[in-house]
Amino acid sequence: MPKILLIGSANRGKARELAELLEGLPFEVRSLADYPAVPAPEEDAETFEENAVLKARYYSAQFGVACVADDSGLVVDALDGAPGVQSARYAGEPCDDQKNIDKLLGALDGVPWHERTARFVCCAAWVEEGQVLHETRGTVEGHIAMEPFGTGGFGYDPLFVPVGREHTFAEIPSAEKHAMSHRGNAFARLRERLERAS
């Protein structure tokens, strides 16, 4: 029987990406939909790293299985790093991707393209039996578009144009996004560790 590996994310768009990024590993990969509903943990840490560990620890302990979680977000230079660790809740709760996009565009009103530099950050953690077995971080540099483009992906994808490209993450196929994204980057290294451990 392959070992269970739980994807500890309540965000459907993110959980779908994580399932794609963990495909083909010798684990039985499960999502939170496979378990009874539990409240999301309080993400009260100040760094992506700490929040990723906090989430992986929480879901691993809740269900007694190995768990991977990521804490991620968008860091915008012209906004002193906002929305950062608050990316999911930037426009308040309940979290709403469209409201977050509208708020970000408002905050950047009048800011020219060359000053709209930003990066996505993803910190991932793998926890098993209370132990952090691996932590990893990935980033991707880009610009915030003047208006949303595309319908793919999730979150701020319609606004994020990676460096060297002319399209947003919401306009390209998910495999192409994974090849350059913060999450694709972080999980490529986590995959190697998971492969070695199996």
Please state, in angstroms and rounded to a whole number, the distance separating the CA atoms of residues 60 and 127.
7
Which of 135, 155, 180, 190 binds ligand ITT (CB under 6 A)? It is 155
Please state, in angstroms and rounded to a whole number, the distance separating the CA atoms of residues 165 and 167.
6
What is the per-residue binding string for ligand ITT in 25-64, x denoting contact by CB under 6 A?
---------------x--x-----------x---------
Cis? peptide before 148, omega within 30° of 0 = no
CB 183 within 8 A of CB 10: no
Total interface residues for ligand ITT by CB under 6 A: 23
CB 193 within 8 A of CB 126: yes
Which range in 6-14, 60-68, 106-114, 131-139 contacts ligand ITT by CB under 6 A? 6-14
Which of 70, 71, 97, 157 does the annotation list as catalytic? Answer: 71
What's the burial of 111, exposed, middle or buried (CB within 10 Å: 0-12/13-18/19+)? middle
14: contact with ligand ITT by CB under 6 A:
yes
Is 71 noted as a catalytic residue in this protein?
yes
135: contact with ligand ITT by CB under 6 A:
no
Q: Which residue has the tokens 């994310």?
A: 9
Between 69 and 194, CB nearer to ligand ITT: 69
Measured at the CA of 86, the angle between CA 30 and CA 14, to 5 degrees, comes to 25
Which of 57, 119, 143, 183 binds ligand ITT (CB under 6 A)? It is 183
* Interface contacts to ligand ITT, rule CB under 6 A: 9-11, 14, 40, 43, 55, 71-74, 87-88, 100, 120, 153-157, 169, 181, 183
